[in-house]
Amino acid sequence: MPPRKRRRKVFREPPVSVYKPAGIPARELEEILITVDEFEAIRLSDFKGMNQREASTVMHVSQPTFNRILSSARNKIARGLVEGSVLRIEGGNYVLGDGSGFLKCMSCEARVDPESKSCPKCGATSFRWERFSS
């Protein structure tokens, strides 16, 4: 069996899925596809200000993987802005973090809101995902 690619955790999907330069028909524009996990990397790192260790934990990936996702996302967004392309956000390898489990503090086992940067009980910043037991 081929190794299963781990799916990345995404807390919520983007509110808008297509950004298009005004006044130019879409068929004349290049379209750049940004995956939902790339969008999440931007949201956690550049919007919420998490460092890569925190953000990689929230997304349930290694730091090198997170770094690769983030670099790819930044590169695509920069290219879209510079070249005036359509940016479409969809697809990718991810599961929604609010549906399949919850974040647990690795020090005190408290449940942690994926939006918070540290444990509300003990202040630790190391979390892991736990599945809801069924």
**Which residue lies nearer to Zn ion by CB, 12 or 111?**
111
Which strand ranges, in their side-by-side order, compose the sheet holding 127-131? 111-112, 101-105, 127-131
**Which residues, in sequence order, are CB contacts of 72 under 8 Å at separation 6+?**
38
**Which residue lies nearer to Zn ion by CB, 12 or 121?**
121
Minimum separation from the CB atom of position 58 to Zn ion (A): 15
**Which residue lies nearer to Zn ion by CB, 39 or 127?**
127
Minimum separation from the CB atom of position 80 to Zn ion (A): 39
Q: Of 102, 108, 42, 118, which Cα lies nearest the Cα of 73?
A: 42
Minimum separation from the CB atom of position 123 to Zn ion (A): 7
β partners of residue 127: 105
Rounded-to-10 torsion of CA 69, 73, 74, 78 = 160
Q: What is the DSSP letter of 8?
A: E
**Which residue lies nearer to Zn ion by CB, 72 or 107?**
107
Minimum separation from the CB atom of position 124 to Zn ion (A): 5
Which strand ranges, in their side-by-side order, compose the sheet holding 31-34? 18-19, 86-89, 31-34
Under the rule (CB under 5 A), what is the footprint of Zn ion? 105, 107-108, 110, 119, 121-122, 124
